[in-house]
Amino acid sequence: MLRPVLRFSNSFLPAGRAILVSLAFMVGLSGCASVRLNMGDEAKLKQAEKISHERAALAEASRALNITPWPEVSSHKPSARLVNLLFGKDEPAGMSREAACATYIESLSVTPQMLAVRIQMDADQTLARGRVVAEMGRQASQSLQPNQDDVVLMEAAIANLREARTMYVMSLKMARKRGAPITNSEIDDLSHAFQQTMTDIGLAADVVAQQAADNNRSNYAEPKGSATDGFSAR
Residue 139, in any domain of the structure: yes
Indicate whether 78 belongs to any domain.
no
| Spatial distance between the Cα atoms of 48 and 120, rounded to a whole number of angstroms | 40
Query: What is the model's pLDDT at position 182?
Result: 95
Is residue 137 in some structural domain?
yes
Give domain status of residue 209, yes or no: yes
Q: For residue 167, how many other CB atoms are within 10 A of its CB?
A: 22
Half-sphere exposure of 163 toward its Cβ, with a 13 Å CA cutoff? 29
CA distances to 39, 158, 196 from 123, in Å: 48, 15, 14
| Residue 234 forms part of a structural domain | no
pTM confidence score? 0.68
pLDDT of residue 92: 52
Cβ atoms within 10 Å of 187's Cβ, excluding its own: 17
Distance CA 210, CA 196 (A): 21
Asked whether the beta carbons of 178 and 115 are under 8 A apart, the reply is: yes
Residue 94 lies in a domain: no
Domain that holds residue 129: 45-69+111-216
Q: pLDDT at position 198, please?
A: 97
Q: What is the pLDDT along the chain (234 residues), one digit of tens a residue?
A: 544 444 434 444 455 554 444 444 444 444 444 445 465 677 667 777 777 888 888 999 999 999 999 999 986 454 555 656 666 665 556 789 999 999 999 999 999 999 999 999 999 999 999 999 999 998 888 876 778 889 999 999 999 999 999 999 999 999 999 999 999 999 999 999 999 999 999 999 999 999 888 876 665 554 454 443 443 333
CA angle 207, 209, 212 (to 5 degrees): 105
Q: Measure the CA–CA gap between 61 and 13, rounded to whole angstroms.
A: 68
- Residue 21 CB partners (closer than 8 Å, separation 6+): 13
Number of compact structural domains in the chain: 1
- DSSP-derived letter for residue 8 is -
Q: How far apart are CA 198 and CA 158, in angstroms?
A: 6
Give the span between the Cα atoms of 89 and 195, in whole angstroms.
26
**Gap between the Cα atoms of 164 and 80, Å rounded:** 12
Q: Are 82 and 158 in contact (CB under 8 A)?
A: no
b vs e for 57-74, b when ≥16 Cβ sit within 10 Å of the residue's Cβ?
A: bbbebbbbbbebbbbebe
Q: Is residue 104 part of a domain?
A: no
Q: Indicate the DSSP class of residue 233.
A: -
**pLDDT at 170 (0 to 100):** 97
Identify whether 81 is part of a domain: no
Closest CA to 133 of 81, 211, 204: 204
User: CA-based diameter of the chain, in Å?
Assistant: 113
